[in-house]
Amino acid sequence: MQKQFNPVSAKEAVRIIKSGDRIFIHSVACAPKILINAMVERAPELKNIEIIHIHTEGDAPYTKAEYDGIFKLNSFFVGSNVRNATQDGRADYIPVFLSETPKLIRQNILPLDIALVQISPPDKHGYCSIGTSVDCTLAAIENAKIVIAQVNSKMPRAFGDAQIPIKNFDIFVEHDSPLYTSPCTEPSNTEIQIGKNVASLVEDGATLQLGIGAIPNAVLSQLGNHKKLGIHTEMFADGLIPLVEKGIVTCEEKKLNKGVIIASFLMGSQNLYNFIDDNPGVAMMDVAYTNDIAIIRQNPKVTAINSAIEIDITGQICSDSIGTKHYSGVGGQIDFNRGASFSEGGKPIIALSSVTKNGISKIVSTLKVGSGVVTTRPSAHYIITEYGIADLYGKSLQQRANALINISHPNHRENLFKEARERFGWNRIYSF
């Protein structure tokens, strides 16, 4: 029987929260601000509330120092809104493959009391859409004891796993507000050069995954002469739309979900959110599906394009921390890196600028103390900077060092060679 759609105020809705609850918050653009604020207003009556989410946009008021002992965030990804709190120890981070975030919920390793989510109004068949973020939110909706939903007519009606019967939600709060948007910045000259280098490896008919950060959009901007590209990714941003409009992304060569763009969450402008609204050409799926290596590998020429913070000359790739300071998370980097490696003609790529904006080399002889090795040496294949491409796969440590130093920033090469000579005992001109 269809559940009664009987909206209440945000204040009334969050009355059900009690001390000791574990609460999930909908991800990225869908963080339901009105419910979050109403929950935080109840702070004086509550204690020991654990908050769980992947990356969210907007404020995260529950991480403020004044709520110590009341709210504690354990996130699956450290976004910019919780970075200071995580680095200061007020919030914490759970290292987990993005593909396995739903498993932590479904297998009751992290049982949920409450989920705060955002949905579209029900359609004529009684289905609501969780729009731009299905990720692990679907698992939260299926498993939380109580699901409180902000019903927002601005939430795009997306297909795939985003369609959820209204009976799966318990408490409704009607409130229309724009979803959070993320600015799409113009790529720098360095990023464009990196994009060109990556594009030179992308074959026609490839299935692309694009990770988080500035470089994926720069890559997309360089694919204007490609043909029959497919998309099976955990996320995408605005850079994809022109390629769909120009008929470059068709998904026709994909073996799985032929003709359909597969993603799990979006981060971008309102234009991006409009793009998926009522669009049967895009399926927003559970991240346990999009990021399953056994699923990813079924498509041909999977080309996984992700970024990193630092890489040592043997191919250890740090992507989630700057030394001991947690910066982001593991995300789906390993899921797609391995999926691409197993795919026929697949190419796992890590693309990064050779130096930071302060001129610090990202290619180093040893990682900073405390750096998180997200992608390990045997998983490293193509590393790309603005200076070229290093193919590490099947290469020895010394061959890798040589290849990586050759794509490092020229200002750092002499020093890197010196350190490599000391490390590997190169006392002659080494022939690679």
What is the C-alpha to C-alpha distance for residues 340 and 355, in angstroms, rounded to an integer? 26
What is the C-alpha to C-alpha distance for residues 332 and 290, in angstroms, rounded to an integer? 10
| Minimum CB distance to ligand COA, residue 34 (Å) | 27
| 333 contacts ligand COA (rule: CB under 6 A) | yes
Q: What is the DSSP string of 165-190?
A: EGGG--EEEE---PPP----PPPPHH
| 327 contacts ligand COA (rule: CB under 6 A) | yes
For the record, the structure tokens of 175 come out as 């409130």
CB 147 within 8 A of CB 268: no
CA atoms within 13 A on the CB side of 272: 21
Tell me whether residue 213 or residue 230 sits nearer to ligand COA (CB atom). 213
CB neighbourhood size of 325 (10 A): 13
Tell me whether residue 151 or residue 373 sits nearer to ligand COA (CB atom). 373
| 214 contacts ligand COA (rule: CB under 6 A) | yes
Tell me whether residue 16 or residue 214 sits nearer to ligand COA (CB atom). 214
| Minimum CB distance to ligand COA, residue 273 (Å) | 18
For the record, the structure tokens of 204 come out as 């026609």
| Minimum CB distance to ligand COA, residue 73 (Å) | 18
Helix pair 410-424, 397-405: axis angle to 10 deg: 160
Tell me whether residue 33 or residue 362 sits nearer to ligand COA (CB atom). 362
Is 234 one of the annotated active-site residues of the chain?
yes
What is the C-alpha to C-alpha distance for residues 179 and 31, in angstroms, rounded to an integer? 8
| Minimum CB distance to ligand COA, residue 215 (Å) | 6
Residues contacting 398, CB < 8 A, separation 6+: 420, 424, 426, 430, 432
> x/- site string to ligand COA, residues 288 to 307, per CB under 6 A?
------------------xx
What is the C-alpha to C-alpha distance for residues 123 and 272, in angstroms, rounded to an integer? 21
| 321 contacts ligand COA (rule: CB under 6 A) | no
| 356 contacts ligand COA (rule: CB under 6 A) | yes
Which residue from 272, 82, 276 is spatially nearest to 183, judged by alpha carbons?
272
Tell me whether residue 34 or residue 262 sits nearer to ligand COA (CB atom). 262
Using CB under 6 A, pick the residue from 22, 338, 362, 409 that binds ligand COA.
Answer: 362
Tell me whether residue 156 or residue 372 sits nearer to ligand COA (CB atom). 372
- Which of these ranges, 5-13, 198-206, 279-287, 328-336, lies near ligand COA under the rule CB under 6 A? 328-336
| 320 contacts ligand COA (rule: CB under 6 A) | yes
Size of the site for ligand COA (CB under 6 A): 25
| 332 contacts ligand COA (rule: CB under 6 A) | yes
| Minimum CB distance to ligand COA, residue 347 (Å) | 15
Q: What is the DSSP string of 39-84?
A: HHHTGGG---EEEEES-B-S--GGGSGGGTTTEEEEESS--GGGHH
> x/- site string to ligand COA, residues 145 to 164, per CB under 6 A?
--------------------
- Which of these ranges, 28-36, 150-158, 315-323, 422-430, lies near ligand COA under the rule CB under 6 A? 315-323
- Which of these ranges, 110-118, 143-151, 177-185, 209-217, lies near ligand COA under the rule CB under 6 A? 209-217
Q: Write the burial class of residue 294 (CB in 10 Å: 0-12 exposed, 13-18 middle, 19+ buried).
A: exposed
Q: What is the DSSP letter of 317?
A: E
Q: ∠ CA(131), CA(132), CA(136), 5° rounding?
A: 95
In the complex, the residues that contact ligand COA under the rule CB under 6 A are: 211-215, 234-235, 306-310, 319-320, 322, 327-329, 331-333, 356-357, 360, 362
